[in-house]
Structure formats: structure tokens, C-alpha cells
């Protein structure tokens, strides 16, 4: 399998191995890497997935993408280590809410959010590959909350990696901030930027565009733009799908969406052969995706804070991968659209692409009132405490089930532990969720908070000063 950039304009684009695409993260032309073709799983192969331990399933699925770089045995060793850090034997337990609706709990990892599913594996994959190559990398990423602590946790104390995570100052929850600023490791840096998440993403893109810096420090990305994360995120779609009857019975999923990485991974699982009926995108008031699916117009609006900070995003970067596909896998067409979008804040309408997109996804906006309401009602009806992001998925799932006639079981992805957002949950239910043991003292731990202006020069200087030098620079 080869990987190509979503912005390569040439009729026969140059392609990279998994190793190269994995280490680079983002392409030098600013595009995202996608495989030249997706592996196809037959119904028989999917049936074999039933009853596999999660780590075994992950090793098999990820090896379809990374097989040239890691043997299945090596991957198995890494997935067993990664998923043994989760505090549920099932890793991603399914919880039934009512006769048609399930929750897939993706928050039993070290930082209590679904990002752990990918990053606990991708961090060690990086480290193993770099050690083999005697190299050192500098990971730079932007986070609206959960990616940051999950990435810092996945990369901390690793010899071959320095990590810098940018997050919007005062726009993440206290627990999210503390989970980043209390990682006590000299190779892990959390930086608060005086700006929005989109500003942080722009800074990261600008750092990558600085070819000198990029080469000197061996810059790399562990955020949702790395294909390895998408690959690792397809695994729980397979696990949950086959547990509820796929491939015999189609399954629907509802995904609380920010950067579109998680929902896109569902799309990839479906393209690989998992029979997904409805793939539902839940957005909060920052509803660029819901507006796109409703109207065909992709237009930026200012980011507004909400109860679901991990979804306070107006430029969902992984959408570029879908756009590439909608444009007939033309890097020239996708690149043009994205550049126009970045320059003008809106994308030229394309009726054909939009119709294709609407066949693949449904999208529903869920505002803060509805989010609160859903937390309260879910608790009253089924006794489950859900976090606001999960509530967006549940509400979007319920909307979808009420407007479309489908008998497929619906799985809402539960992406954060309710104790990460205790105030909203308490307001909605009267109950204050408690943090699991390992994090119970987080409010007392000492913070190391670095605040920088939304300024490329300042951020570059900080990173240059704190990155350990790359061995091959």
C-alpha cells in the first residue's frame, strides 16, 4: 500500500511508503496522506473478528495499513501493551441504553477520552520505528482539549521524541488543562496560546510549512491528521459492529464531531467492508459540517465556546480527506478547493460532491440546551451518566432515528468520561461524577503552564529553545 497527498496536483502523484507517511504526518505541500487504495475485508474475514480480544483485532486491522513497516507480531506486542493500560478488559465496552441505542465507551484509557485508543498505540509505534532508525523527532500538535493530554501521555519520557502541544488558553476545561500541564516529563511541553483552537492549528501548519525548521527538528504530527491514527480508530468500529451482528446485520453509528477524524475513521471502516447503515455526525453550535450537509455550502463562522470544547472547531481538517475522495481522488481539485477555503473562508459549491457526501453521512446540530437536556434524560431513562460530547452523539442519534426509517442498531460513541466535565453533568442530573482512582488527585498536582501569544515567531523560538537536537541535523 502506498500513500499520497490530498493536494498533489500531478496526474500520477508521487507516493510514499507507510513508514514515510507515518513519520511525516502532514505532506510538505500541506495536504494529508491517504492510502492509494483501501484494503477490502470480506464478510468471512469480518466474521473472524467476532470474539477476538481488542488488542488482537487492533494488530490485525492496523497491519493492513502498516504491514510493510511492522510485522503483525511486533504490532501485537505494541497493541497488547497499549490496551492493557485501559481499565476495562473489553477495552471499549458496549452499554445498552434502550432497545435500539447503545453507547460505545471509548474513555477507559489513561486520559479518559477516546483519543487514547489511537495515541496509546501510535506513540509507541513512533518510538519503536525511530529507535530502529536511530532517529529523533519533534512532535508538534494543536489540541482543543483531549488530543493534547492523550498525545503528551503517549509520548512522555520517550527517548526518541520531544512533544509540544498547543492549546487555546482559557478555552479548555480545567481538568483538560491540568491533564496537560501536570505531565511531569522533560520531553513533554503543553503551550497555552492566546487564541482559538483554529489559531493553534494554523500555527502548527505554519511550523510545518517552515521547511528549515521542519527538517532541523524532524517535525512530525501525532494529531488526527496522521493516517496511523485513522487506522487505529477504525478498530473500534469493527469491534462494536461485529459485536452487534455485523456483517449479517448492518449497524449505525453516531459520532460527536470536531476535527472529523473519528467520523472519517467510521467512513474508512465502511469502505473496507463493515456494513454501516447510517453514519451520523453530531456537531455543537460550531456547526460548519451540519450546515454543509444541509445546504452544500462550506463556510467558516467564528468559533464560539460551548459545553463541548473538544468540538469547538470551524475548520475540520480531516474533511480534506473526504473532499479528496468526493473530487474523484484528484489532488489538483482538492488542493484548489482547500486553498480557496483557507483564503476566502468559503468553498465553491459543488452539487455533485455534496450529493455524494449526503449519501455517506447525515449531520445534526445539537446546541448546549439540547446537550444538557440529553444528559438529564439519558440518566433518568437508563441510569447512565454521559459527558456533554457523548450527549451530542446521543441526541444526534435520536434525531436521526426519528427522521429516518432504519432498523439497524444505533451506536453512539461515548468519547469522554463524564468526570472530565463534572459541572455540566451535575447541572443536568444533580449528580457529580467522580474521577477514577488514577486521576483523583489531579486538582492538587502542580501545574507547569506556559502561555504564549498567537505569534509564529514566539512559538518557533520556544520550540527551538526546548527541543533536544535531532541526531541527524
Ligand X SMILES: *Cc1c(COP(=O)(O)O)cnc(C)c1O
Q: Which of 154, 311, 353, 411 binds ligand X (CB under 6 A)?
A: 311
Does residue 115 belong to the site contacting ligand X (CB under 6 A)? Answer: yes
Backbone φ and ψ for 191, nearest 5 degrees, come out as -120, 120
Binding-site size, ligand X (CB under 6 A):
18
Does residue 32 belong to the site contacting ligand X (CB under 6 A)? Answer: no
Does residue 258 belong to the site contacting ligand X (CB under 6 A)? Answer: yes
Only one residue has cell 504526518, namely 25
Please, which residue, 141 or 195, has the CB nearer to ligand X? Answer: 141
Does residue 234 belong to the site contacting ligand X (CB under 6 A)? Answer: no
Reply yes or no: is the peptide bond before residue 69 cis, omega within 30 of 0.
no
Q: Lay out the site mask for ligand X across 94-113 (x = CB under 6 A, - = otherwise).
A: -------------------x
Please, which residue, 143 or 220, has the CB nearer to ligand X? Answer: 143
| Cα Rg of the chain (Å, integer) | 21
Please, which residue, 195 or 256, has the CB nearer to ligand X? Answer: 256
Does residue 288 belong to the site contacting ligand X (CB under 6 A)? Answer: no
Does residue 13 belong to the site contacting ligand X (CB under 6 A)? Answer: no
Q: Which stretch binds ligand X (CB under 6 A): 133-141, 255-263, 290-298, 458-466?
A: 255-263
Single out the residue of 241, 236, 294, 283 nearest to residue 260, CA to CA: 283
Q: Is 115 an annotated catalytic residue?
A: yes
Does residue 261 belong to the site contacting ligand X (CB under 6 A)? Answer: yes
Does residue 259 belong to the site contacting ligand X (CB under 6 A)? Answer: yes
Please, which residue, 213 or 425, has the CB nearer to ligand X? Answer: 425
Does residue 416 belong to the site contacting ligand X (CB under 6 A)? Answer: yes
Does residue 141 belong to the site contacting ligand X (CB under 6 A)? Answer: no
Does residue 166 belong to the site contacting ligand X (CB under 6 A)? Answer: no
Does residue 310 belong to the site contacting ligand X (CB under 6 A)? Answer: yes
Least distance from ligand X to the Cβ atom of residue 307, Å:
11
Does residue 260 belong to the site contacting ligand X (CB under 6 A)? Answer: yes
Least distance from ligand X to the Cβ atom of residue 263, Å:
6
Name residues contacting ligand X, limited to 384-413 (CB under 6 A). Answer: 389
Pairing label, strands 101-105, 94-96: antiparallel
Q: Lay out the site mask for ligand X across 142-161 (x = CB under 6 A, - = otherwise).
A: ----x---------------
Does residue 229 belong to the site contacting ligand X (CB under 6 A)? Answer: no
Cα(143)–Cα(139) distance, rounded to whole angstroms? 13
**What is the number of residues in the chain?**
473
Please, which residue, 145 or 409, has the CB nearer to ligand X? Answer: 145
CB 454 within 8 A of CB 203: yes
Q: Which of 115, 327, 365, 420 is catalytic?
A: 115
39 forms beta bridges with: none
Does residue 120 belong to the site contacting ligand X (CB under 6 A)? Answer: no
Binding stretches for ligand X (CB under 6 A): 113-115, 146, 224, 256-263, 310-311, 389, 415-416
Q: Give catalytic residues, as residue numbers.
A: 115
Amino acid at each position: 500500500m502506498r500513500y499520497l497527498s490530498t493536494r498533489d496536483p500531478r496526474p500520477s502523484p508521487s507516493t510514499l511508503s507507510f513508514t514515510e507517511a507515518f513519520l511525516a504526518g502532514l505532506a510538505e505541500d500541506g495536504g494529508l496522506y491517504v492510502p492509494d487504495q483501501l484494503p477490502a475485508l470480506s464478510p468471512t474475514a469480518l466474521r473472524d473478528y467476532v470474539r477476538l480480544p481488542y488488542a488482537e483485532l487492533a494488530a490485525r486491522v492496523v497491519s493492513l495499513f502498516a504491514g510493510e513497516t511492522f510485522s503483525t507480531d511486533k504490532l501485537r506486542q505494541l497493541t497488547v501493551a497499549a490496551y492493557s493500560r485501559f481499565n476495562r478488559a473489553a477495552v471499549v465496552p458496549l452499554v445498552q441504553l434502550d432497545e435500539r441505542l447503545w453507547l460505545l465507551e471509548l474513555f477507559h484509557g489513561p486520559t479518559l477520552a477516546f483519543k487514547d485508543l489511537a495515541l496509546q498505540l501510535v506513540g509507541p509505534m513512533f518510538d519503536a520505528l525511530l529507535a530502529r532508525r536511530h532517529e529523533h523527532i519533534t512532535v508538534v500538535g494543536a489540541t482543543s482539549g483531549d488530543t493534547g493530554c492523550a498525545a503528551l501521555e503517549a509520548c512522555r519520557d520517550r527517548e526518541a521524541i520531544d512533544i509540544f502541544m498547543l492549546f487555546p488558553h482559557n478555552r479548555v476545561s480545567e481538568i483538560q488543562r491540568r491533564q496537560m500541564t501536570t505531565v511531569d516529563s522533560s520531553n513533554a511541553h503543553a503551550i497555552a496560546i492566546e487564541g482559538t483552537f483554529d489559531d493553534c492549528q494554523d500555527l502548527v501548519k505554519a511550523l510545518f510549512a517552515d521547511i528549515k525548521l521542519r527538517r532541523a527538528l524532524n517535525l512530525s504530527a501525532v494529531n488526527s491528521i496522521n493516517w496511523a491514527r485513522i487506522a487505529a480508530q477504525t478498530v473500534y468500529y469493527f469491534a462494536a459492529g461485529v459485536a452487534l451482528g455485523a456483517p449479517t446485520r448492518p449497524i449505525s453509528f453516531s459520532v460527536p464531531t470536531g476535527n472529523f477524524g473519528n467520523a472519517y475513521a467510521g467512513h474508512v471502516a465502511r469502505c473496507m467492508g463493515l456494513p454501516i447503515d447510517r453514519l451520523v455526525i453530531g456537531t455543537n453550535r460550531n456547526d460548519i459540517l451540519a450546515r454543509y450537509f444541509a445546504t452544500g455550502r462550506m463556510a467558516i463562522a467564528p468559533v464560539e465556546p460551548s459545553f463541548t470544547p473538544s468540538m469547538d472547531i470551524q475548520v475540520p481538517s480531516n474533511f480534506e480527506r473526504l473532499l479528496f475522495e468526493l473530487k474523484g481522488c484528484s489532488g489538483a481539485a482538492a488542493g484548489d478547493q482547500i486553498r480557496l477555503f483557507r483564503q476566502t473562508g468559503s468553498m465553491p459549491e459543488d452539487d455533485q460532491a455534496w450529493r455524494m457526501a449526503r449519501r455517506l453521512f447525515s449531520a445534526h446540530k445539537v446546541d448546549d440546551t439540547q446537550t444538557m437536556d440529553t444528559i438529564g434524560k439519558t440518566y433518568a431513562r437508563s441510569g447512565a451518566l454521559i459527558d456533554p460530547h457523548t450527549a451530542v452523539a446521543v441526541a444526534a442519534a435520536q434525531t436521526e432515528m426519528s427522521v429516518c426509517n432504519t432498523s439497524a442498531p444505533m451506536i453512539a460513541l461515548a468519547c469522554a468520561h463524564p468526570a472530565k466535565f463534572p459541572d455540566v453533568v451535575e447541572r443536568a442530573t444533580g449528580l457529580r461524577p467522580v474521577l477514577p482512582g488514577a486521576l483523583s488527585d489531579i486538582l492538587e498536582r502542580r501545574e507547569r503552564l506556559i502561555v504564549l501569544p498567537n505569534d509564529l515567531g514566539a512559538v518557533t523560538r520556544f520550540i527551538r529553545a526546548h527541543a533536544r537536537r535531532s541526531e541527524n541535523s
